[in-house]
């Protein structure tokens, strides 16, 4: 018998927020800042992290998409001689906190509906916690979540299950009663490793073919989640 769903843990980028509308703008702005507006150097740095500076778009295979700020530093630092890792990660996190956030669906009605179903809600992102909270606060929804963790909160990053298990433990939930909802294989692998059911959404850069083998269900976006949960009950 399948356990009743009691909690929902969301990835952030590509799940709650539209990835391309948010992070293509961030990447272009950050690269311009790091290079003092030198478009040739910005394009060279962009190529290092799988971002087409001229086309203003990430390659779907870029390690940045599901990665952490430390992954971005690893990719960019060789192209920034003389810059210390700590300085670069500080600049990345500062610029990320101001990245424009475009909701994948209207989050207010969605979160209210899920609360009405008696569900505990959390966010587990490979972004850093401070910019993640800034993004959620910026759209007025930080307080809607019972748990918010970034890769640097202390649980590790995805695809390891630490944040998923941390959410369950913090709220006293058995992992099998939690849904992990995400747009990348990192999200789904983390959820599966924690013993959770996984819901994939198609508002990120990964295809249905990539996500389906790891997911209980693939939905177009998180707006379809309340209906699917109600059907399970």
Per-residue pLDDT band for 110 (boundaries 50, 70, 90) equals very high
Give 3-state DSSP helix, strand, coil % of the chain, rounded to 5.
50, 15, 40
Residue 99: pLDDT above 90?
A: no
pLDDT above 90: residue 106: yes
HSE, side-chain direction, 13 A CA sphere, residue 110: 20
For the segment 171-194, the average pLDDT, to the nearest whole number, is 98
Give the predicted TM-score (pTM) of the model. 0.90
Q: What is the pLDDT of residues 203-221, one digit of tens each?
A: 999 999 999 999 999 999 9
Decide: 182 and 211 in contact? Cβ < 8 Å. Answer: no
Q: What is the dihedral angle through the alpha carbons of 212, 121, 130, 94, rounded to the nearest 10 degrees?
A: 50
pLDDT digits 0-9 by tens, 31-90: 999 999 999 999 999 999 999 999 999 999 999 988 899 999 999 999 999 999 999 999
Q: Is the C-alpha dihedral spanning 93, 155, 7, 218 positive or negative?
A: positive
- Domains of the chain as residue ranges with CATH: 7-17+101-232 (3.40.50.1000), 20-97 (no CATH)
Q: What is the predicted pLDDT for the residue at 1? A: 54
């Amino acid at each position: 018998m399948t356990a009743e769903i009691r909690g929902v843990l969301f990835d952030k980028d590509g799940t709650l927020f539209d990835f391309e509308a948010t992070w293509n703008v961030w990447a272009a702005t950050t690269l311009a800042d790091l290079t003092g507006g030198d478009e040739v150097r910005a394009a060279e740095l962009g190529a290092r992290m799988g971002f087409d500076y001229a086309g203003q778009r990430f390659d779907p295979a870029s390690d940045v998409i599901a990665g952490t700020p430390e992954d971005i530093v690893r990719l960019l630092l060789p192209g920034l001689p003389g810059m210390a890792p700590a300085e670069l990660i500080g600049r990345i996190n500062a610029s990320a906190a101001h990245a424009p956030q475009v909701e994948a669906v209207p989050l207010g009605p969605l979160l209210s509906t899920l609360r009405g179903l008696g569900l505990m809600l959390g966010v587990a992102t490979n972004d850093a916690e401070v910019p993640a909270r800034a993004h959620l606060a910026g759209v007025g929804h930080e307080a809607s979540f019972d748990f918010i963790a970034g890769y640097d909160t202390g649980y590790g990053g995805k695809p390891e299950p630490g944040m998923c298990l941390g959410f369950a433990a913090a709220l006293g939930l058995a992992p099998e009663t939690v849904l992990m909802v995400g747009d990348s294989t990192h999200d789904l692998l983390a959820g599966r490793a924690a013993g959770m059911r996984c819901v994939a959404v198609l508002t990120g850069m990964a295809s249905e073919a990539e996500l389906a083998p790891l997911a209980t269900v693939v939905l177009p976006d998180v707006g379809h989640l309340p209906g699917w949960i109600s059907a399970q009950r």
